[in-house]
A and B are shown apart, each in its own frame.
Chain A
Amino acid sequence: MDKAEKKQLRLTALRVRKGIIEGTYNAKSGHPGGSLSIAEILTYLYFKEMNVDPKDPQKADRDRFVLSKGHAAPALYATLAERGFFPVEDLKTLRKSDSYLQGHPNMNYVPGVDMSTGSLGQGISAACGMALASKIEGDKFRVYTVLGDGEIEEGQVWEACMFAAAKKLDTLTVIVDNNNLQIDGTVEEVNSPYPIPEKFAAFGFNVIEIDGHCFDCIEDAVNQAKACKGKPTAIIMKTIKGKDVSYMENQVGWHGAAPKLEQYEQAMAELDAKIAAVEAE
């Protein structure tokens, strides 16, 4: 990608982060940390890679995205809003009783959401079903799913991985957000899923390891996934939980807590400063 395009993607990712803070601040709850860590991958998929149309969210040949780590809904909503699926203003209604923006994504309420998720380990199976549908119909579309590194402690994830490789679901790309933190602590402390790449390789995946905040790396990995035939791809991305909000970065406490007014103002100021810096480049 050229410099101008990358600059736009970086700016979009920062606006997605602002949307995450806006949503969780107004909701007074939600999961900012693991939402902030996936802003680049979502931005890349929805703004550069996936065949989607905000005016026709249900079109049959669209590429699919399943947020298996459904608690990162603020990131998905912010991305979809930026992409034009619904008004950015609506992000302020996150988790309210009269809002369509549920705490975890509901495919029947939110334009652009391809699967209802939230109970960990289940989204990847649905993504496998979608990839199988694509295969049956002649590789009609590609399927992307993002999982947390804590989420892969769920046994169902590995049932799904076995299935994806056995059925040669090469339109499926599984992305692991390896931010190293889950609710009870670091993933090593809780119930270590490491080594992650080796596990996916053993299950028959094409495995790519990248820095999840680097757009060039993401592009290269997604292109490698598309070129790989006969097996699914796993992109294991190292990320920073709470990325780009200084006091949230790598802090386990920001898994499922919302910023208060002062924290909200600081986060927005930091993100605005980053936007200004990128724009000035």
Chain B
Amino acid sequence: MADVIKTATRDAYGKALVELAGKNDKLIVLDADLAAATKTGMFKKEYPDRFYDCGIAEANMMGVAAGLSTAGFTVFASSFAMFAAGRAFEQVRNTIGYPHLNVKIGATHAGISVGEDGASHQCCEDIGLMRTIPGMTILNPADDVEARLAVFAAAEHDGPVYMRFGRLAVPRVFDENYKFEIGKGAYLAKGTDVTIIATGLLVERAIAAVELLKAEGISASLINMATIKPIDRDIILDAVKTTGCLVTAEEHNVIGGLGSAVAEVVAETCPAPVLRVGVEDTFGKSGPALELLEIFGLNAQNIAEKAKAAIALKK
């Protein structure tokens, strides 16, 4: 494992903004006193005239982003997921979502892998909140390669985008040939017994789960679902058709996130077992991120167990 590159998706966010600024002179980046942590500090250093710190006032920041966007700017507003999606939910809903403005929300420190700061800062509700806003696009990249491309795609997209990034350095999954498209899931493995649909840092863990299952003679498909909304219905239906049962895996409450989005599609179109790996409707707690991921069952073993349970539920 020594040769595996590990980078936090928030680092990719900061770097991608710097890259983007060279191509888009209408790019503005806002932050709420967290530039060092969200990594917009990289942008601030290179482009100080296009960076505005709004201070610890996320509600106002979202409105400022909206106002800037009406004058033709592409605005990236950054904070922790807890404050971007949680504290400022209604501002995002009414002043960005309702008028469908061209604001990109860069939400870092999502999920329990925030680690030692504990439950007050571990946001496992943000996908659920953002998913209920009509017209909102939600991107949850798995590694730094995908995060960079997701930022570029968000900048090109006309309308609001919620991008979810992590604090923890995670292993690189994709190589330089990887293509990213909003709204498209992608098979990383094709099997016949079960399909795992994973997002964010669970993708790398799902790859390991596929190997665990293979060792037991179980053939699993794996889909990387980087776009949570609009959800790729076609690939979900294909997965049900080819394997007959699904397991979702995400660093989010099992209520409201990827698991819910997938279950909704399956229930309405081609009923089949869908089991969800995620934070089991509980708050997080302090501890090293990697330990917490084990404690909360966000690991390959649990995905593999759920996969076997899903297979057992098949008629």
Contacts and interface: CB of A to CB of B under 8 A. Distances in A.
B94 A125 contact: no
Tell which of A127, A160, A162 has the most Cβ of chain B within 10 Å. A160
A116 B99 contact: yes
A48 to B, nearest CB: 24
A126 B57 contact: no
A156 B91 contact: yes
A82 interface: no
A60 to B, nearest CB: 7
A49 interface: no
B129 to A, nearest CB: 16
A162 B60 CA distance: 10
A60 B72 contact: yes
A66 B95 CA distance: 12
Contacts of A149: none
B91 to A, nearest CB: 6
A60 B55 CA distance: 29
B70 interface: yes
Interface string B51-84: 0101101011111111111111101000000000
Q: What is the size category of the interface that chain B forms with chain A?
A: 20 to 34
Tell which of B52, B66, B68, B75 has the most Cβ of chain A within 10 Å. B66
A66 B61 CA distance: 17
A137 interface: yes
Tell which of B55, B64, B75, B100 has the most Cβ of chain A within 10 Å. B64
A133 B30 CA distance: 13
Contacts of B70: 64, 107, 114-115, 126, 129-130, 133
Given A122-B91, A166-B55, A128 B71 contact: no
Contacts of B91: 122, 125, 156
A160 B98 contact: no
Given A132-B67, A133-B73, A167-B52, A125 B90 contact: no
B63 A125 contact: yes
Contacts of B61: 125
B66 A125 contact: yes
A60 B72 CA distance: 9
B60 A125 contact: yes
Given A122-B91, A127-B67, A159 B60 contact: yes
Nearest to B99: A116
Given A115-B70, A126-B63, A134-B71, A162 B95 contact: no
Contact of B64 (A64, A108, A117, A126): A126
Contacts of A64: 70
A137 B52 CA distance: 15
A223 interface: no
Contacts of A166: 55
Contacts of A114: 70
Nearest to B90: A119
A160 B71 CA distance: 18
A126 B101 CA distance: 11
A236 to B, nearest CB: 21
Interface string A48-71: 000000000000100010100000
29 contacts: A60-B71, A64-B70, A106-B98, A108-B99, A115-B66, A115-B95, A115-B99, A119-B95, A125-B62, A125-B63, A126-B63, A126-B66, A126-B95, A127-B67, A128-B67, A129-B68, A129-B69, A130-B67, A130-B68, A130-B71, A133-B72, A134-B71, A155-B59, A156-B63, A160-B63, A160-B64, A162-B57, A163-B55, A163-B60
Given A133-B68, A133-B70, A156-B63, 10 more contacts: A116-B94, A122-B91, A126-B64, A128-B60, A130-B70, A130-B71, A133-B67, A159-B59, A162-B60, A166-B55
- 9 smallest A-B Cβ distances: which pairs? A129-B67, A125-B63, A133-B71, A159-B60, A159-B57, A129-B64, A126-B67, A130-B67, A116-B99
